[in-house]
Amino acid sequence: MNIKATGLIAVGTVAMILSGCSDNETTEDANLGEQLEYTITGIEPGAGITGQAREILNTYDNLEGWELQESSTGGMMTELDQAIQNEEPIVVTGWTPHWMFERYDLKMLEDPELAFGEGDDIHTIAREGLEEDMPEAYAILDAFEWSVEEMQVVIDEGQDIEMEEAAADWVEENQDQVDGWLEGVDPVDGQPIDIISVPWDSERASSNVIRLALEQHGFDVTVTNVDPSILFQAVGNGEADASVAPWLPNTHGAFMDEYGERIVDLGPNAEGTMNALVVPTYMEIDSIEDLPASE
């Protein structure tokens, strides 16, 4: 046997195998990108996570040529549901707490560049002068604090009943905790207060819980849902009294930079939220860097 020739054949065979694997991987990557149409499915244009997702397209070299499809939270969830029903690939902008993680098997893609930051806390903010004008409301808002896990309970129940009813159930079951927010504060008689929020389930949960707490102490509470940029503008301009919705320092950081000098930040009311690109667990990728580059 010609050992040298055999060795050359073996090396050539290995090279062909490796080359074949590489071609297959490239094809699989290309197919995934093509199936996704090199598109990330997002939510409302004014959302903080939408701004972060736009920046991600510039942060990761492999996302050059990708697009962010901006629509609405409801539209994104509809597309996610349809993709999962058909076991098709999809990449969406997602966050916790959110009921999507209870209903579907999902995973957050690793973000090695920390383009989404290292997580947020949900803050309570107030207009300048609220402490002087409504010291009782200011004290309750300042004391308001619960966990992301408690918020998730209201969010989950709010998928089957009205969010207002889910919040009322939570308050009834956790009256001792609510009493702690009200402790030492004199009740009022019908004083109006405007709470401004955004139309997402996590913020609908927290806004309704604080509404009920304030109403228990005699306030006439109006909750208005708006785009995040309008929320900060309204509190900064004194057109709304307070909000328990801002995600800081990352998600809504740009809005806080713009209006923060005219806003009082009372600190976190819930800690440990996270934004990310999210995919179904059946997709064999784990990181943003695993998304194939557009040719």
pLDDT digits (tens, 9 = 90+) for 153-194: 999 999 999 999 999 999 999 999 999 999 999 999 999 999
CATH second-level architecture of 33-118+276-290? 3-Layer(aba) Sandwich (3.40)
Q: DSSP labels for the chain?
A: --HHHHHHHHHHHHHHHHHHHHHHHHHHHHHHHHHHTTEEE---TTSHHHHHHHHHHHH-GGGTT-EEE---HHHHHHHHHHHHHTT----EEEEES-THHHHS-EEEPB-TT-TT-S-EEEEEEEETTHHHH-HHHHHHHHH----HHHHHHHHHHTTTS-HHHHHHHHHHHTHHHHHHHHTT----SSEEEEEEE-SSHHHHHHHHHHHHHHHHTTEEEEEEE--HHHHHHHHHTTSS-EES--EETTTTHHHHHHHGGGEEEEEEEEEEEEEEEEEETTSS--BGGGSPPP-
Enter the pTM of the model. Answer: 0.80
Write down the pLDDT at residue 30.
55
The full set of domain ranges for the chain reads 33-118+276-290, 120-273
Q: Is the Cα dihedral 130, 136, 142, 147 positive or negative?
A: negative
- The answer to whether 33-118+276-290 and 120-273 have equal CATH topology is no
Write down the pLDDT at residue 89.
97
Please give the Cα distance from 95 to 93 (Å, whole number). 7
Question: What b/e readout covers 98-127, taking b as 16+ CB neighbours within 10 angstroms?
Answer: bbbbeeeebbbbebeeebbbebbbbbbbbb
Q: Does the pLDDT value for residue 230 go beyond 50?
A: yes
Question: In Å, how far are 10, 20, 62, 110, 118 from 285, measured between CA atoms?
Answer: 33, 21, 14, 9, 21
Q: Which fold has domain 120-273?
A: Dipeptide-binding Protein; domain 3 (3.10.105)
Helix/strand/coil for 37: coil
Token pair belonging to 103 = 């209903």
- Residue 295 pLDDT level (bands cut at 50, 70, 90): confident
pLDDT digits (tens, 9 = 90+) for 112-155: 999 999 899 999 999 999 999 999 999 999 999 999 999 999 99
Q: What angle do CA 89, 94, 97 make, to 5 degrees?
A: 135
With tokens 């995040």, the residue in question is 228
Q: Taking residues 52-58, what's their average pLDDT?
A: 94
Please give the Cα distance from 28 to 292 (Å, whole number). 9
User: Are 33 and 292 within 8 A, CB to CB?
Assistant: yes
Write down the pLDDT at residue 29.
54
Write down the pLDDT at residue 14.
36
